[in-house]
Amino acid sequence: MSVFISGANGFIAQHIVDLLLKEDYKVIGSARSQEKADDLMKAFGNNPNLSMEIVPDISKLDAFDSVFQKYGKDIKIVLHTASPFCFDIADYERDLLIPALNGVKGILNSIKKYAADSVERVVLTSSFAAMFDISKESDKSVTFNEESWNPATWESCQIDAVNAYCGSKKFAEEAAWKFLEENRNAVKFQLTAINPVYVFGPQTFEKDVKRHLNTSCEFVNNLIHLSPEDKIPEFYGGYIDVRDVAKAHLVAFQKNETIGQRLIISEARCTMQDIVDVLNDGFPVLKGKIPVGKPKTGATHNTLGATLDNTKSKKLLGFKFRNLKETIDDTASQILKSEGKL
């Protein structure tokens, strides 16, 4: 019995693979190129329980056919994490919306064609972006929870990359629930969506700490490299540690209570000021090198906008998430060590 994970070389996915291997699962991962697949195999010490397949572009609806044709009967669990998460793009449809949507449609159809009787659980890495309404983020009277859906339409989300990304996650998750509704008798699997807020935390392997990091960790990386006179970027959102997001993916398929659920993975809300406070408090090497701003005025000290209520998700998952200090300390110390500053 194997677990298939798409986009296995991604920031979050590498932590998931790490946990799966530690729990002795047989893992089949996909990456876009042989080079990326080989790198990942090497990083995991060529663990015999890990094997890799190449899926060059999830925009193609038959992208996963060959994987499920080859391994379908052996795969019991599918974790679909692959989806573009980047704001530096040229074409919203080609680079975000279509790969996200077709990725979900494609993998579920491949399961239907080649593994309808063997795949029992599918965990989709969706996002809180599929749930919240950007225009209501600063409205203190609004609460988002597991029932919430981003109201974006295909047309309305194409104003900038952030809106397009949020739309891409909404359309992809919506397509997954719709597929299940329409194919209830044609497939065996049960579905769970994982909806994380902004994910920070260390890279699984230090070799991946580069000058530019994956989109979410780049927020922290950017703060570490500001000058004292720079303005602290505007940001209000939820935060969660990547190690907790990874664990949530495992719990999501290991428990029956999570079947059919959308799980919001968020510890609490924060602003960049909160992260700057943690950096200034925890790292003497950054004193006087990064801005100070107005300490203790961030979202961890005050209600600055809409509330995120994920009480239900936390209860279903049943484990405690890391706090902002631990997450940022571990993110920053890995970066600073790689630069020889710690």
Q: Return d(Cα 300, Cα 80) in angstroms, integer.
A: 32
Binding mask 170-199 for ligand NDP (x = CB under 6 A): --------------------------x-xx
Q: Which strands sit side by side in the sheet containing 236-241, from one edge to the other?
A: 198-200, 236-241, 268-271
Q: What angle is formed at CA 136 by the lines to CA 134 and CA 137, rounded to 5 degrees?
A: 70
**Chain residue at closest Cβ approach to ligand NDP:** 10
92 binds ligand NDP (CB under 6 A): no
Is 70 marked active-site? no
Strands across the sheet with 75-80, in order? Answer: 50-54, 26-31, 2-6, 75-80, 121-125, 190-196, 262-265
Minimum CB–partner distance for residue 166 and ligand NDP (Å): 10
Binding-residue pattern over the window 110 to 149 for ligand NDP, x denoting contact by CB under 6 A = ---------------x-x----------------------
Minimum distance, C-beta of residue 292 to ligand NDP, in the bound complex (Å):
26
Site for ligand NDP in 261-280 (CB under 6 A): none
Neighbours of 160 (CB within 10 A): 10
61-90 mask for ligand NDP (x: CB under 6 A)? --------------------xxxxx-----
Residues of 229-243 as b/e, b for ≥16 C-beta within 10 angstroms? eeebeebbbbbbbbb
**C-alpha to C-alpha distance for 238 and 341, rounded to whole angstroms:** 29
Residues 6+ apart with CB under 8 A from 261: 146, 192, 193, 313, 316
Give the distance, in angstroms, between the CA of residue 285 and the centroid of all CA atoms in the same chain.
Answer: 30
Stretch that binds ligand NDP, among 56-64, 145-153, 269-277, 334-342 (CB under 6 A): 56-64
Q: Does 214 bind ligand NDP (CB under 6 A)?
A: yes
Using the minimum distance from each CB to ligand NDP, give the nearer residue, 84 or 202.
84
| Contact set with ligand NDP (CB under 6 A) | 7, 9-13, 32, 36, 55, 57-59, 81-85, 99, 125, 127, 169, 196, 198-199, 214, 216
Return the active site residues. 169
